[in-house]
Structure 1
Amino acid sequence: MSTLPIGAQLAAPAAWRGNIHGRTQGVPRQFIWIFLIACLAWLPLGAAERVISLAPSLTEMICAIGAADQLVGRTSACDYPPEPLKAVPVIGGFGAPSLEKLVALQPTLIVDIALEDEALGGQIKRLGLRRERIICRTLDDIPAALRRLGSLLHREVAAEALATQLTAGIAAARQAATAQKNKPLVYAEFWRDPPMTCGKKTFLAELITLAAGENLGDAAARDYFPVSAEWVVARRPDIVLCLYMADEKKLPEQMASRPGWNTLPAVRNKHVYGGFDNNLLLRPGPRALEGLRLLQNCFQAATR
């Protein structure tokens, strides 16, 4: 009986299927070994992990590389993709798990980006549980994070393919953005009263730049910070992105009702956008290029 995996047996040429150890019917032996190595390269190696993810971006990556079946715990913020996560228990908030629930799930691996309370990391270590911190805050962190998860969860081939695709997409967008002139000035608003925007150190600011825009908040080397209405009016943004719940159709009218805002190019030309899936714009993960396309569509419409 052949010892080939089932998939390899089905794919093997009929001339030598089931005859690997004996004489082959005119097929050179080296071709058989090449075929076997190619098949084995796609097989996940090593035992499956029991992994708990404490960050939604990492949870998305785990599912994207085909390792959703290894997830035994997640946070309340881990909401995508919804279908495979339905059966995965929630053990707490983003970076803030219940230690009791975590231990009860008997994980072999815990992955996080950061913990709300770093003292918890010490407790996890004292319990003898394996914990891996995976940095994923910027666009360039995403491919490396995918590769690390692929290595940890024995999904190297799928992780490498996705990482390579993302790297190529990011590089192409950077080249196009660098070549583009007359980039629109973009004001991203996270809250209305008081107005709040994002600085240079945020993932959204990176996406805005990659989409060939200029982020209004880049003057501040900060994350998120409040601004005055006068500060926005004085800078006259070409585009406004609303990252909070609002009626998208009424946004231009609502913006125009603010003192002085009816003079802004973004408001006057109705280049005020909302209704986004914020996770595409704020979560560094495998869907980063989808978030990029959302912004590119907005910016291209505003610069026609």
Structure 2
Amino acid sequence: MRIVSLLASATEMVAALGCTEQLVGRSHECDYPPEVQHLPALSRPVIDINTNSAGIDAQVRQLAGTRRTGDEAALQALSIYQIDIARLQELQPDVILTQTQCEVCAVSERDVSEAVRQLTGLQPRIVSLAPYRLSDVWEDLRRVGAALGRLAEAEALIASYQQRLEELRQRCARLSAGRGQAPRVAVLEWLDPLMGAGNWTPELIAYAGGEPVLSASGQHAPWISWDELRQADPEVLILSPCGFDVERTRQDAALLEQHSAWSELQAVREGRVYLIDGNHYLNRSGPRLVESAELIARALWGEDAGIPLPAEGWQPLR
């Protein structure tokens, strides 16, 4: 079986299922595990992603032909990626993995369907992932496993991930009980304009022993105002922009620090602002969401969480 994955989280699922050697192509964002990086990249963004949050947002809005109104329907026709159709034809894939969750974050099913219509003599199976909650992520892993003939392996992985999360929940619940109440936690998925972290992130916060604010499980990430952030006044603030690693997030954090309301936030006053790699962890809906919950726990509880984690995954802002 020849597999093309145009979604970074799907590539990680393929690897976890033991099918890395069957991958023949990837998206430009698929970078883990490291051995997939030698594969041909079949997509590229049509905007300049090497700029700050505000610059990327402006380009996306201009491409969509709309201003930021909060109406996500205005972005439905958006496509900010191009697929190398000639190379896709050469690779002769049997299965193409993609997604419907967010057309801004990754190559979408619509992009893939359009590309497949232009292929000659090929009818690959398109498996499109659509996660909103952790249960959807596990179901997507089942679907990938079924498509690759590895359903039993997928079920075993899901059971191990769920057990690991449950162990984390119990450990952090004890820490929260000792404190008297769960700390209020806000995660920002974009920094300019501000966007809370929705979908599965509130669940990860809860597993880590926190109380999520400014977002709801299973719902798209909401745009928020500075007034809303100030009113929520989280005890812990996590900056994790989609597609940004820790160092790039640190650069964009300067945009927040320039705002007059920044110093009023409890998390800022108490030095409880943390950076988490939003590219590889929180916003990548694959196996490493378990590690994402552990990263949040480390930010909330420090060494008391009992989790040794790599420094490149998270850092305090100061």
Q: Could you state the TM-score of these two structures normalised by the residue count of structure 1?
A: 0.69
Deviation at 1:74, TM superposition (A): 0.8
Equivalent in the alignment of 1:98: 84
Q: Does 1:128 find its partner at 2:79? A: no
Deviation at 1:173, TM superposition (A): 4.2
- TM alignment of 1:196-211, pairs within 5 A: 196-199=195-198, 202-211=199-208
User: Higher mean Cα deviation, 202-211 or 213-222?
Assistant: 213-222
Equivalent in the alignment of 2:292: 291
**CA distance in 2 between partners of 1:119 and 1:282 (Å):** 20
Q: Which of 14, 31, 36 pairs up with 1:85? A: 36
Deviation at 1:111, TM superposition (A): 1.9
Partner SS, residue 131 of structure 1: strand
**CA distance in 1 between partners of 2:152 and 2:218 (Å):** 37
Contact 1:183–1:213 at 8 Å: present in 2 too? yes
Q: 1:178 to 1:121 in 2, by over 3 A?
A: farther
Equivalent in the alignment of 1:189: 188
**CA distance in 1 between partners of 2:300 and 2:36 (Å):** 34
**CA distance in 1 between partners of 2:303 and 2:268 (Å):** 11
Equivalent in the alignment of 1:259: 260
Equivalent in the alignment of 1:166: 161
Partner SS, residue 217 of structure 1: coil
Contact 2:196–2:224 at 8 Å: present in 1 too? yes
Deviation at 1:256, TM superposition (A): 6.5
Q: Which of 195, 212, 215 pairs up with 2:212? A: 215
Deviation at 1:275, TM superposition (A): 5.1
Equivalent in the alignment of 1:56: 8
Q: Does 1:116 find its partner at 2:108? A: yes
Percent of residue pairs bearing the same amino acid type? 29
Amino acid in the other structure paired with 2:23: L
**Structure of larger gyration radius:** 1
User: Higher mean Cα deviation, 275-284 or 93-102?
Assistant: 93-102
Q: 1:157 to 1:303 in 2, by over 3 A?
A: closer
Amino acid in the other structure paired with 2:9: S
**CA distance in 2 between partners of 1:187 and 1:229 (Å):** 13
- TM alignment of 1:238-249, pairs within 5 A: 238-244=235-241, 245-247=248-250
User: Higher mean Cα deviation, 176-185 or 278-287?
Assistant: 176-185
Partner SS, residue 140 of structure 1: helix
Partner SS, residue 134 of structure 2: coil
Q: 1:155 to 1:196 in 2, by over 3 A?
A: closer
Q: Does 1:152 find its partner at 2:151? A: no
Deviation at 1:302, TM superposition (A): 11
Deviation at 1:257, TM superposition (A): 5.9
**CA distance in 1 between partners of 2:18 and 2:217 (Å):** 39
**CA distance in 2 between partners of 1:211 and 1:88 (Å):** 36
Q: What 5-or-longer segments of structure 1 have no aligned partner? A: 1-48
Q: Does 1:228 find its partner at 2:225? A: yes
Q: Which of 21, 24, 27 pairs up with 1:72? A: 24
Contact 1:255–1:262 at 8 Å: present in 2 too? no
**CA distance in 1 between partners of 2:140 and 2:217 (Å):** 27
Partner SS, residue 111 of structure 1: strand
RMSD over aligned CA atoms reads 3.4
Q: What 5-or-longer segments of structure 2 have no aligned partner? A: 46-80, 101-106, 242-247, 306-318
**CA distance in 2 between partners of 1:60 and 1:69 (Å):** 13
Q: 1:128 to 1:174 in 2, by over 3 A?
A: same
Contact 1:109–1:130 at 8 Å: present in 2 too? yes
Q: Could you state the TM-score of these two structures normalised by the residue count of structure 2?
A: 0.67
User: Higher mean Cα deviation, 138-147 or 232-241?
Assistant: 138-147
Amino acid in the other structure paired with 1:229: W
Residues 179-211 of structure 1 deviation map (CA, whole Å, 9 limit, x = unaligned): 745111122234444333234xx2323322222
Q: 1:278 to 1:90 in 2, by over 3 A?
A: closer
Q: 1:96 to 1:216 in 2, by over 3 A?
A: farther
